[in-house]
Structure formats: structure tokens, C-alpha cells
């Protein structure tokens, strides 16, 4: 049983593994993705196999209909000869639980580009496709997207080790409580506030600036591509379907012709075939669109990491600035010169000098504050550097993944186009033979 093994799973990951050298890390990345898989994937297979409609009362006690998805997990061990695969463990999850998991991961691993969920509502639809969340086609594509999300997390060198993620796959009822107990919600709220706040970083990291720019460009271009593709799909649908009218008319026409009748009739059948073929063609293309959409949503995750870094950098700068101010204050106090305006300084000038005692205690407090400040600065600096290091590790990993995946997507698009062309050639060659018999 899978559950017995849970004790051997590593605990919640620390920020990166500082023991591995950079080359080893690089090797690990490649190996992880292509050959050996993560620890988790080596132990466990996972699928999102079904979707079901449920009705229940929501938080405001109103009836609602929602969809739940079945997650199946089983041990990924080789089977003995003639053995049957172990029955999978299963549990049901709804989309909002996936969202909760993802939010947890976002907060817990701010330096990681967290894989995106499939879209909440159908966007970039072309007219025949439904924008309804309960539509079976949409639900099916969402099922695939959710499975993809789980696999992405499970194959991530850092995220796959997360205990909450493991429990998401294995603990149906208790999981929600456990997640909330981590207290990530508080971090989330404060983070959310700061992320939307406007602030200016004095010395932005060029690499992150470039990355954010790239991410914005990618977001914009993929959006446009998806929009245009949907329109093209719509039009192509129209072209194919109109040919179906030939089928009907040729059939009627063949009834009044003697010599031409057979040729017309059979040509008409091929036109019907042609018109019908577009449905499968465009359904396949939706998978391509989904692959693009995944990376569209990934750009949000990338942007989020950049913003978090900015926030960190900003906080660091604030701490440094604060320290500088305090040091100046100390200097003034010591030398008696006022370089920086301070209310205390002014009042003491106006209302008379303070006593030596007061001055010394103020100096002591300031020195304490400075020491604390220096500690904080050191910590923040380390924190920032760690963030940068681990973030860039993940960014490099992501870039390679992106290049690989999108190249594969483009290749599969080409394969689809080739298949479409071959179908077209066949239909029109057949029609030509029929016309020849006219």
C-alpha cells in the first residue's frame, strides 16, 4: 500500500540544496526531466481519470453544481510476471482545491515558477466551442489540464518533495485542515498586498528586469496568437462545412441526370466526408491551443517571481537606507553637527541642550539599533542572494523546459497540418475520380 511509504518521503523542502555544486545541479535538472524522474515520480504514478458532477450547499448555503475530478495514484513499481496492476488509490478533488494547493505553493516557494492550472473559464473560444464550464468538452480538457498540473509539480526537483502536495494526492478529507494549519494564508495576504503596491527599486537586477520584459512580451504574443488561431479555426470550419452543401445538391442533381448521375452522386459523398472531417481536425488543434495556454499562464508565474524579487530587493534597500540614516544620526550625535534634520535635534536646539545623560542613553539606543540593523541587513542580504540563486536555478530549468515543450508543440502542430493536408488530398483525389466518371 502506498500510504506505508509516506514516512520515507522527505520533509518540506528547504530553500534549495546548498550542498550540490552548480554542475551537479545542472545534471540533476536534465536527468530529472528526461530519464530518472523525481523521487516522487519514481515511487508513484498519478492520473486524473474522471470527472463527475456534484451538487451541494456552498458557503452561503445555496445549492450549487460543480465538477469533481478523480485522482488515481498507484505505486510505480515494475510488475511481477503475469501480475495484475495494483488497484489505484483514489480521491475526488474539485477545482477550488487545486487552486488552494497552488496558492500554498506560490507562498511557500516564492522563488519557484509554479506550474499554472488550466483556465477557470474558457477563453479564446471559436464560435462552435462552448464557453460553458459545465460543457463536457470543456470539462474533459480541464481534466487533462489538471493531470498535467499534477505531473508538472510531481516532476519538479523542489516542489515534488513537498509534503502538502503529497497529502493532496493521498488525503482526501484531512488535507484542507492541514493546509490551512500551515498558516500560509497570512503570508499570502500580506504578500498579495505588497505585490500590488507600487514601489521603485533603486538598483534593479538587470537579469530580472530582462526576464520580466520577456515574460510580458511572451504573454502578449501568445494571447494574440491564441486569438488569431481561434478566428482562423472559425473560418476554416465555415469553409469545410459549406462544402457539405455540395453533397446535398449533387445528390439531388444526380437524380435527374442519366450519364452524369453516378459520378455526381459519389462526388457528393466525398464532399460530405470533407465537410465532416473538420470536426476532428479542430478538436485536435484544441490540444495545441491548450499547450500554448499553459505557457501563457506560466508567464504570470514568471512575472510573480520577478515581482517577489523586486519586493525583496526593495525591502533590502529600505533596510540599508534605514541603517545609513541611523549611522548618520549617530555621527551627528557624536560630533554635535546637524547634517540631517531631525525633530529631536531641532527641539533640543530650540528648547535647550539635553543633559549628558540623556545624550548618552540616546547614543546607546542608537548603537543598539544600528547593531540590530546590521544584523537584519546581513540576513536580508543572505536571504536575497539565496532567493536570486535558487530563483535563477529554477528559471534556467524553466527556460529549457519551455523551449523543449514549445518546440514539441510546434512540431505536433506541423504533424496536424500534414494530416489535414493528406486528408484533403485523399478526398479531392476521390472526388476527381468521380468527376471523371461523369
Partner 1 sequence: MSGQTVPADFSGHMLDLDEDEDLEVFSKNTSLADGSPMPNSPSSMVNQYRLEEEEQQDADAQDIFITVDNPESHVTAIETFIMYRVATKTTRGEFDSSEYDVRRRYQDFLWLRSKLEENHPTLIVHPLPEKFVMKGMVERFNHDFIDTRRKALHRFLNKISVHPILSNSQHFKVFLTAQELLSHKKQGPGFLSRMGETVRAVANSVRGLRSRPEEFTVMQDYVEDFSSKICSVDKVTQRIIKEQREYFDELKLYSPTYAQWAESEEELAAPLNGVASCVERCSKESEEQIQHLSEVLVPALHEYVLCTETLKAVMRRRDNIQAEFEAKNEALASRRAHQEALQDEVDGLADRVELSNKALKGDWSRWQNGMRSDLKSAFLSTAEKNVDCYEQCLAVWESFLLSQRVEPGEQRDGEDAS
Cell of 65: 453544481
Q: Which is nearer to partner 1, 296 or 301 (CB)?
A: 296
Shortest approach of partner 1 to residue 124 CB, angstroms? 13
Shortest approach of partner 1 to residue 207 CB, angstroms? 15
Q: Which is nearer to partner 1, 81 or 259 (CB)?
A: 259
Shortest approach of partner 1 to residue 229 CB, angstroms? 7
The residue written with cell numbers 499554472 in the block is 116
Are the CB atoms for 309 and 206 separated by under 8 Å? no
Shortest approach of partner 1 to residue 286 CB, angstroms? 16
Q: Which is nearer to partner 1, 65 or 220 (CB)?
A: 220
Neighbours of 199 (CB within 10 A): 12
Q: Which is nearer to partner 1, 89 or 294 (CB)?
A: 294
Q: Which is nearer to partner 1, 110 or 247 (CB)?
A: 247
- Residue 16 CA to residue 14 CA, distance in Å, equals 6
- Residue 273 CA to residue 426 CA, distance in Å, equals 11
- Residue 123 CA to residue 131 CA, distance in Å, equals 7
- Residue 327 CA to residue 370 CA, distance in Å, equals 7
- Residue 92 CA to residue 175 CA, distance in Å, equals 12
Residue 72 bridge partners (DSSP): 47, 90
Cell of 339: 547634517
Shortest approach of partner 1 to residue 303 CB, angstroms? 15
Cell of 376: 537584519
| DSSP annotation string for 85-132 | PPPPEEEEEEHHHHHHHHHHHHHH-TTS-PPPPPPSS--S--TTS---
Q: Which is nearer to partner 1, 228 or 338 (CB)?
A: 228
Are the CB atoms for 52 and 70 separated by under 8 Å? yes
Q: Which is nearer to partner 1, 73 or 254 (CB)?
A: 254
Shortest approach of partner 1 to residue 394 CB, angstroms? 18
Shortest approach of partner 1 to residue 242 CB, angstroms? 5
Shortest approach of partner 1 to residue 285 CB, angstroms? 12
Through-space distance between the first and last CA atoms of the chain, rounded to whole angstroms: 69
Closest CA to 118 of 293, 340, 342: 293
Q: Which is nearer to partner 1, 264 or 366 (CB)?
A: 264
Q: Which is nearer to partner 1, 75 or 261 (CB)?
A: 261
CB contact set of 349 (below 8 Å; sequence gap of 6+)? 338
Neighbours of 185 (CB within 10 A): 14
User: Three-state DSSP class for 73?
Assistant: strand
Distance of CA 356 to the CA centre of its chain: 61
Q: Which is nearer to partner 1, 29 or 260 (CB)?
A: 260
Shortest approach of partner 1 to residue 294 CB, angstroms? 15
Binding site for partner 1 (CB under 8 A): 214, 217-218, 221-222, 224-225, 228-229, 231-232, 234-236, 238-239, 242-243, 245-246, 249-250, 252-253, 256-257, 259-260, 263, 267, 402-404, 406-407, 410-411, 413-415, 417-419, 421-422, 424-425, 428-429, 431-432, 435-436, 438
- Phi and psi of 125, rounded to 5°? -85, 145
Shortest approach of partner 1 to residue 90 CB, angstroms? 31
Amino acid at each position: 500500500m502506498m500510504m506505508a511509504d509516506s514516512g520515507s518521503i522527505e520533509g518540506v523542502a528547504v530553500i534549495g540544496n546548498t550542498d550540490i555544486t552548480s554542475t551537479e545541479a545542472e545534471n540533476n535538472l536534465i536527468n530529472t526531466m528526461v530519464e530518472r524522474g523525481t523521487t516522487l515520480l519514481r515511487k508513484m504514478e498519478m492520473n486524473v481519470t474522471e470527472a463527475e458532477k456534484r451538487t451541494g450547499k456552498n458557503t452561503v448555503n445555496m445549492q450549487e453544481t460543480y465538477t469533481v475530478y478523480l485522482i488515481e495514484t498507484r505505486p510505480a513499481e515494475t510488475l511481477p510476471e503475469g501480475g495484475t496492476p495494483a488497484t489505484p488509490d483514489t480521491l475526488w478533488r474539485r477545482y477550488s482545491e487545486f487552486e488552494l494547493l497552488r496558492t500554498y505553493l506560490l507562498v511557500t516557494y516564492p522563488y519557484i515558477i509554479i506550474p499554472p492550472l488550466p483556465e477557470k473559464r474558457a477563453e479564446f473560444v471559436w464560435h462552435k466551442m462552448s464557453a460553458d464550464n459545465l460543457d463536457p468538452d470543456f470539462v474533459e480538457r480541464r481534466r487533462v489540464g489538471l493531470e498535467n498540473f499534477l505531473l508538472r509539480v510531481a516532476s519538479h526537483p523542489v516542489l515534488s518533495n513537498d509534503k502538502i502536495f503529497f497529502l493532496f494526492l493521498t488525503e482526501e478529507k484531512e488535507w484542507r485542515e492541514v493546509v490551512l494549519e500551515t498558516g500560509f494564508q497570512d503570508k499570502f495576504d500580506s504578500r498579495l498586498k505588497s505585490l500590488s503596491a507600487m514601489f521603485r527599486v533603486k538598483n534593479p537586477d538587470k537579469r530580472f528586469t530582462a526576464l520580466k520584459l520577456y515574460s510580458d512580451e511572451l504573454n502578449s504574443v501568445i494571447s494574440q496568437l491564441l486569438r488569431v488561431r481561434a478566428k482562423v479555426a472559425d473560418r476554416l470550419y465555415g469553409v469545410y462545412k459549406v462544402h457539405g452543401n455540395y453533397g446535398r445538391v449533387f445528390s439531388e442533381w444526380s437524380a435527374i441526370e442519366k450519364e452524369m448521375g453516378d459520378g455526381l452522386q459519389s462526388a457528393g459523398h466525398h464532399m460530405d466526408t470533407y465537410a465532416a472531417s473538420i470536426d476532428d481536425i479542430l478538436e485536435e488543434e484544441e490540444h495545441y491551443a491548450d499547450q500554448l495556454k499553459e505557457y501563457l499562464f506560466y508567464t504570470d508565474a514568471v512575472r510573480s517571481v520577478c515581482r517577489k524579487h523586486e519586493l525583496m530587493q526593495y525591502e533590502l534597500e529600505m533596510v540599508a537606507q534605514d541603517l545609513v540614516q541611523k549611522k548618520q544620526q549617530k555621527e551627528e550625535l557624536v560630533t554635535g553637527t546637524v547634517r540631517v534634520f531631525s525633530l529631536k535635534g531641532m527641539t533640543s536646539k530650540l528648547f535647550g541642550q539635553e543633559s549628558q545623560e540623556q545624550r548618552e542613553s540616546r547614543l546607546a539606543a542608537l548603537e543598539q539599533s544600528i547593531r540590530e540593523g546590521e544584523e537584519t541587513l546581513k540576513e536580508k542580504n543572505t536571504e536575497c542572494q539565496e532567493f536570486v540563486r535558487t530563483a535563477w536555478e529554477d528559471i534556467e530549468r524553466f527556460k529549457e523546459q519551455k523551449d523543449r515543450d514549445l518546440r514539441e508543440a510546434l512540431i505536433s502542430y506541423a504533424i496536424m497540418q500534414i494530416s489535414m493536408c493528406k486528408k484533403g488530398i485523399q478526398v479531392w483525389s476521390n472526388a476527381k475520380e468521380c468527376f471523371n466518371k461523369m
